[in-house]
Each structure stands twice: as C-alpha cells, then as structure tokens.
A and B are shown apart, each in its own frame.
Chain A
C-alpha cells in the first residue's frame, strides 16, 4: 500500500544488534486472517526509550505480548537483553518489566500485598520482598495508600502501582503498553515524570502509544507501525524533518508589515508547493520551506523590500501531521477528537 519512508531504509545502528537491548527481525503473528504483525523489525538501544507509535489495531500490543513471552510469534526472531523470546522465555521473564492495558495488579489485594507477592514470585526472600515493596511504594508516593485494596485507588495511583509492580525485579528492559491511555492530562503528566525518572536510572524502555505528545515527551527514537507493518523509523526530530519539512515563523518588527511580508514572500515565488499563512493572533507569517537555500532566499527577499524582522524561527511539524503524511489516514486519536467535536456541535 505504502512503502517505508527513506529513513526506515537507511541502515540502522542496531541492525547488527550492537548495543541493542531489544532486537526484533521479521516478526509475524497472525490471528486467523488478520495479520497483527506482518514482518516487523524493531531495535531499542540500551538505555534509551523507543516509542512505538500507531493507531488502535496497528499491532502495538501484539508486539509487546510477543516480546514479553505472553504469545508465541508465528515466525521471525526477537531478542530481549540477549535472550531469545522463543528459546529462553524463563530467563527473559527475569529481566523484563511489563505495564500495560492488560498486565495489571490484583484489584482485591492492597498495594503492598501486590508488590510483596510479585517480589516473592521473583524469588526475593521474605525480607527482601518486604523492603522492596516498602521502598517502591515510597518512591511512587503510595505509602499512605499501601494498605488499601488497589480497587479503591484513583486512575493515577493505579498506574503508579502498575509501574511499581513492573520495577520490582529491577528489570533491564521495561515494556510500557499505552501507559497513559484513559488518564486525564494532569495524571498523565504525573506518569510521564515517573517514567522519565525510571529512564534516568538506566532502564531501557519500549513504549507503545497513540499519543504523539507522549512519544515526543518520552522517546528518543520512534518506530511508526500501522496494520502490522513498520512504516517509518528514526529519531523523532529526524522523522519530523523528513516527512514534513520545516516551517518558518517570521515576525516583522512592525505589526503593520504583516500583510506586506506575506505578499512579498508570495511574489518572490519561494514557497512553491505550499502557501504562506498569516497568523494575526501572534503577529507572524508562516512559510513552509524545504531547504536551507530557501531560508536564505526568504531572508534575502524581505531584506530587499526593506522589511525589518524582530524574530525568525524554524518549527517542526507535529507528529499528528507526520502520521497523516505517512499513512494517508489520521490517527484514531484525532478521529476521536473529531467525533467529540461533532457531538459537541450536535448538542
């Protein structure tokens, strides 16, 4: 349907596995007719966060379930921290942590009992399991709620407990499957802060998300998947630059010069493909550019007309735009928000 973008075809540093904490080649998983994963390659370098971005049903969860040995892939290979998903599942389980839409805690148990139980299941001694539970509850600010059943926790507390549960074994690789889906923005920020702290401790993270903002906040590299296929991969900035080019935001020193600035640029015929936009609210003119030469030409054209500038900045396109241009359809997130908007209008 659509090929990989150029970025994806470029040789990856992790292609030979050097420094990869997670290395996946040609992973395939079918559910009857549905190809949940259709030949996926993924690399996560040690100590980094890889964002796996895709809409609902793209295969993100199937990927995480394969990597955490919950399901067996039909073909392909996958290594996590050097362990083979197929041949060394038990050793692999010892070095991973899993938090997600599905792998959750026992609601009927208290926060403390949940962590203690997982500690014991990870072969900690009673004493170690106890101190680990206390320490993690403290760290995730759950000490006060430690003796309450998890079902009484708020959404944010539940996610923090989930994160704490996945940290008990001090995992080398952490899988976070849509860690903030269904959380309000404030709680989401809370979870992000926790994840950033965990990354600061050196854990390698594979994060799946539908939220562009989340990937931008947490991940250094990105793999975009859609319908079981990788459609792009690379650094976030790199990917955005590649797909959408850049936008110049120009602020004339004199706000009255706003329209003349736009006219000058249109007449200079520099923008070619796209159009100049005047943003009166911020008093700026937006110009899409494709190269550094165009940037220089823009400045030249404005200088020639005697327009003085107070500010000029380049902006990268949003990830939502990236996704649209890669897949030809919008993410479910934006579809959802469109639906909500329409409902709002109807009401």
Chain B
C-alpha cells in the first residue's frame, strides 16, 4: 500500500483493509436497552409459564417458614417477649418478610449459571445488546417473584392473626427488603458468572446465608445470646433489615438508624458487585 508511512515505534504491520469501516462503535441507547431488557424479561416469564414448578419456592417457602416458626418456636419465644404466640407473630413476621427475598436471590445466580451451560448465553453475547441487560432482566423477574412471595406471606400472616399497624410502614419495609434483595442478587449473579455449576452456587449460598439468617434478630431477640454472638448479630446487616422492618410495620420504636444501615448496605452491595458482575460477564470466555 502506501510506501511513505511515517515510521511509528512498535506499530504492528500495516493491516488496514481497504474496505475497513472506520465509524466508531455504536452506543446502545437507553431506549434500546429498555427494549432488550423487556424482551429478556419476557423470556424469563415464559420460563415460569413453561415450568410452573420453578414458582414452588416463591409460593410454598413463605407459607412453610411462617407456620414452622410461629407454631414451633412461637410459644416459647413469645413468652420471653412477655406475651405468647401472638406476641411472636408480631415479632417474627416482619423479619420473615425481609428474609423471603434472600433465598430467592440465590435463584438468580443458579439460573444465570444454567444459561452458560446450555449455550443460550453465547447466543446473547453474539447479539448487539448491552450485556448488562441480560442481568437486569434476571433481576426484574426475580423482584416480581419476591413480590409474589411477600404477598403470599402477608396473606398467611393475616390469617394467623398478624396485624398491620402501619400500611405506609409495611410498604416501606417491602421496599427496603427489595433494595437489599437487589444487592444480594448482584452477589449471586457474580457467583453465577464465576462459579462452575449451579449446585456449587446453591451449596455456597446456603453456607453463607444460613449463619447470617440465624445469627440475626430475624427469628428471635438477640438479648439472650452470648456476648460474642451478639457482637456478630449487631453488625449483621440482616439484623438491621429485620429491626427496620419490625419498627416500620409495628411502629413504636425508632427505626431511622436501622433503615439507614440497611440502605447503605444495599447501595454498597449493588455499587460494588454490579460492576464486578458485569465485568466478569464481559470477560468470561
């Protein structure tokens, strides 16, 4: 080609193809991003329609957990709260509602991982869409599932005698649980990209979530726990989430501190993990 090329240090051999198109790479507009996410949300909803069993956890877990805790531990824990089972229902339901999202958040990671195994992900990655829209779609669908699970739990709670003291408080605590859930989902999405199998994610997830859930104020007040455990539960974000929800729904206790702590945790989890998840997704081979 040109023989008058100015000698550039360490330049690769001239390889410009005559038909090379030089326009800069396109950006994906917000509208296109929303459209892509919508198409992928539709896909995940069709999955649920196709495989109704996948909704079992959303439908049954809240019912089973609620009945189990209220009727197995409710009497004795309620006594220590200075009442009975009714006292425990008021104590535990807000915490259980906050918790519903957590076990479901794990499903995001396992589902995402399965997409890699089946090869659908490579199809998506070869399309001119933002890779984050694949992740956003998963989160949107999972939030819908969380809302359904929360609604079912609330219905069960009302039947067994739970009373909602403040409807705005209830809505606020649901919002808080969703925000925290999104943060957790980004962690599980990262695991979904990085880890080899869906089973590994599930195993790891339970290993981390179980101690966090039980080592918190979700199921029982922490006052009777030994000091070292209290030190842990005090800093456990799940305690803050449960206490905030309880305060918002039942009223009577100041909640500002716990609400802030939960929000900060949610924002930090998303802020740190979302870029990591998207980066890992981009560079995964």
Contacts and interface: CB of A to CB of B under 8 A. Distances in A.
B36 A68 contact: no
B165 interface: no
B112 to A, nearest CB: 13
A83 B21 CA distance: 6
A244 B117 CA distance: 42
Contact of A108 (B19, B50, B124): B50
Nearest to B47: A108
A104 interface: yes
A63 B1 CA distance: 27
Given A23-B17, A83-B21, A105 B123 contact: yes
Interface of A: 16-18, 20, 23, 25, 65, 68-72, 77, 79, 81-84, 87-91, 93-94, 96, 98, 100-109, 113, 117-118, 120-123, 149, 165
Given A93-B128, A98-B126, A79 B20 contact: yes
A25 B43 CA distance: 39
Contacts of B12: 77
Contacts of A17: 17-20
Contact of A91 (B25, B118, B123): B25
Interface string B6-42: 0000001001011111011110100010011011101
Nearest to A99: B123
B21 A120 contact: no
B226 interface: no
Nearest to A162: B123
13 contacts: A18-B18, A68-B126, A79-B17, A82-B19, A82-B21, A89-B25, A91-B25, A98-B126, A102-B119, A103-B123, A109-B47, A113-B46, A120-B38
B51 interface: yes
Given A17-B17, A103-B122, A121 B127 contact: yes
A68 B12 CA distance: 23
Given A98-B126, A117-B42, A122-B128, A90 B25 contact: yes
A20 B26 CA distance: 23
Contacts of A70: 122, 125-126, 285
Contacts of A104: 118-120, 122-123
B216 to A, nearest CB: 36
A93 B122 contact: no
Nearest to B35: A120
B276 interface: no
Contacts of B119: 101-104
B129 interface: yes
Interface string B31-74: 01001101110110011001100000000000000000000000
A107 B20 contact: no
B50 A103 contact: no
Interface in B120-154: 120, 122-129
A118 B43 contact: no
User: Considering the complex of A and B, which 10 residue pairs feature the smallest CB-CB distances, nearest first?
Assistant: A17-B17, A120-B39, A104-B119, A82-B21, A93-B128, A103-B122, A102-B119, A98-B126, A88-B25, A94-B128
A149 B43 CA distance: 12
A108 B25 CA distance: 33
A91 B20 contact: no
A68 B127 CA distance: 9
Given A20-B19, A89-B25, A121-B40, 7 more contacts: A17-B17, A94-B128, A100-B122, A103-B122, A108-B46, A117-B43, A165-B123
Nearest to B127: A121
B119 to A, nearest CB: 4
B3 to A, nearest CB: 14
A107 B114 CA distance: 12
B195 to A, nearest CB: 19
Nearest to A18: B18
A90 B15 CA distance: 21
A315 B139 CA distance: 61
A77 B26 contact: no
B135 to A, nearest CB: 14
Contacts of B25: 87-91
A69 B28 CA distance: 17
A123 B18 CA distance: 29
B234 to A, nearest CB: 44
A106 B126 contact: no
B126 A16 contact: no
A115 B211 CA distance: 44
